[in-house]
Structure 1
Amino acid sequence: MRLPNALFSVSLAALIATPTAMAGALPAPLQALTEQGLEIHGEFEAPAGLTGYAASHQGREMTVYLTAAGNHAIVGTMIDAEGNDLSEAPLDELVRAPQEGEVWQQLEESHWIQDGQADAPRVLYTFTDPNCPYCRQFWEQARPWVDAGEVQLRHIMVGILQQNSPAKAASLLGADDPEAALHDHSDGGDITPSAQPRDIEDQVYRNNQLFDELGLYATPTTVYRHDGRLQRVDGMPEEARLLEMMGGEAP
């Protein structure tokens, strides 16, 4: 499933509280819009003496254009004489890119098991449930790139599929060598849930929360960067998408 450039547009609104830009110093029409719940993310130059603002409301992105006198605002999309949408670039720069950066940081700060070399030039985050057969298949698919040192998978361990999934995920995160334990499990071995310290169990809980907050619904779900933007794949990728995710043909 390929999402638009705004990776998790609706769920981002819940996950990221973006402060209204220039609060208290906005022209009256914009101030009125912010009081109705609109968030202003930044200002940009617009044609015809207008001033543009990149904004969002409940996960929906939009542009607002302020007239030269500052007394009126127009909410909508601006099109030039050739039919080009002049709103997309400002929304990319001022709304989507910062929000995607926040999502990437959330993934970095989650609780994951490294799979591959630490200095691999390409990093992918994948939500993995120990009881998910497709997660094992994806692990196997990625072996050529991971083993060659080209890709590092970061398995964000969640427990959502079966009653013992959280305990299994905690056992993997709490193993003496989590990467080796995940390797053995993904290679066909079973894992016996065992009691873990409270902080390890909490790591699984927080990963589950992140899974829900991002509006995800399948494992594996993998997030990666392509052409500077975040992309997401739900479930097993098709071959062409796998090559994009891994950055090229198998070594």
Structure 2
Amino acid sequence: MRQLSRSSLALAALLLPLAAVAEELPAPLQALEAEGLSVHGRFAAPDGLTGYAASANGQAMTVFVTADGEHAVIGNLVDAEGNNLSTAPLERLVRAPQDAETWEALEDSAWIADGREDAERIVYVFTDPNCPYCRRFWQAARPWVEAGRVQLRHVMVGILERDSPRLAISLLAADDPSAALAAHEAGTPVAPLDALPRRWELALQENHTLMERLGLVATPGLAYRLEDRLRTAQGMPSAERLEKILGPRP
């Protein structure tokens, strides 16, 4: 059996009270947690207040607890110059971790690559095989993809027509999904499979769940990074918006 050294035991003794304090929230926050509030972290605030970064129903917010721990105010704190002191803590403690978690979920979804793996920019595209606007977006993105600047990752969904799920799974299960999708978007429809592999049926359902989680209801649904933030868009972008999503035109 491994034994702890005296230094390790001393360190553990120091850490335990800190962990216990970190887990104990003031009574007002405990009451708000019971109503569905999630607390993500604590930060310093002026005049004896303690700030907490929180969220409820997907909405980020700050809560400020008074010095006695008995009262809390929900909202933004503004200084004498009009600076919003809630912005930075919410970005650091709520939005940035949420963005990272969502981006990881996108990476783990069932997608078909379109473009070079070492492209400087990645854009996830929720794509329905029967979506004419998805085809228009695919065509409009050719200059960026062919220049090696952007890799599109088509997160396949089947929401528009009765045969959309079958076609989406047929593309995901193809021997060469990238080639099959390119041919489909170029005008040679994919041949639907008679028997659908169960693993791809489950993957398609997970894609649908992820699309709903992002609040997207139309295709193409886009998820991308801009200025260190996760952004989303729906439908065929305008020419100006297209360059914001994909970068300067090659």
Shift of 1:54: 0.7
Structure index of larger Rg: 2
Shift of 1:148: 0.9
- In the superposition, relative to structure 1, how do residues 162 and 22 fare at CA in structure 2: closer, same or farther (>3 Å)? farther
| Partner in structure 2 of residue 92 of structure 1 | 91
Shift of 1:40: 0.9
**Greater per-residue helix proportion:** 2
The answer to whether the aligner puts 1:199 opposite 2:199 as a matched pair is yes
| Partner in structure 2 of residue 25 of structure 1 | 24
Secondary structure, aligned partner of 2:199: helix
Deviation digits for residues 114-141 of structure 1 (CA, Å, limit 9, x no counterpart): 0001111110000000000110110011
Matches within 5 A, 1:146-165: 146-165=145-164
Secondary structure, aligned partner of 1:97: helix
Deviation digits for residues 175-222 of structure 1 (CA, Å, limit 9, x no counterpart): 110000001111111122113322122222221222233332100011
| CA distance in 2: counterparts of 1:40 and 1:134, whole angstroms | 40
| Partner in structure 2 of residue 231 of structure 1 | 231
Deviation digits for residues 6-44 of structure 1 (CA, Å, limit 9, x no counterpart): xxxxxxxxxxxxxxx977511223222222322111111
| CA distance in 1: counterparts of 2:37 and 2:76, whole angstroms | 16
TM-score, normalising length from structure 1?
Answer: 0.87
| Partner in structure 2 of residue 242 of structure 1 | 242
- In the superposition, relative to structure 1, how do residues 47 and 142 fare at CA in structure 2: closer, same or farther (>3 Å)? same
- In the superposition, relative to structure 1, how do residues 200 and 125 fare at CA in structure 2: closer, same or farther (>3 Å)? same
| CA distance in 1: counterparts of 2:212 and 2:57, whole angstroms | 17
Q: Residue type of the partner of 2:176? A: D
TM-score, normalising length from structure 2?
Answer: 0.87
| Partner in structure 2 of residue 173 of structure 1 | 172
Q: CA RMSD in A?
A: 1.7
Deviation digits for residues 32-61 of structure 1 (CA, Å, limit 9, x no counterpart): 222232211111111122111111122222
Secondary structure, aligned partner of 2:113: strand
Structure 1: state its 5+ residue gaps.
1-20
| CA distance in 1: counterparts of 2:31 and 2:211, whole angstroms | 35
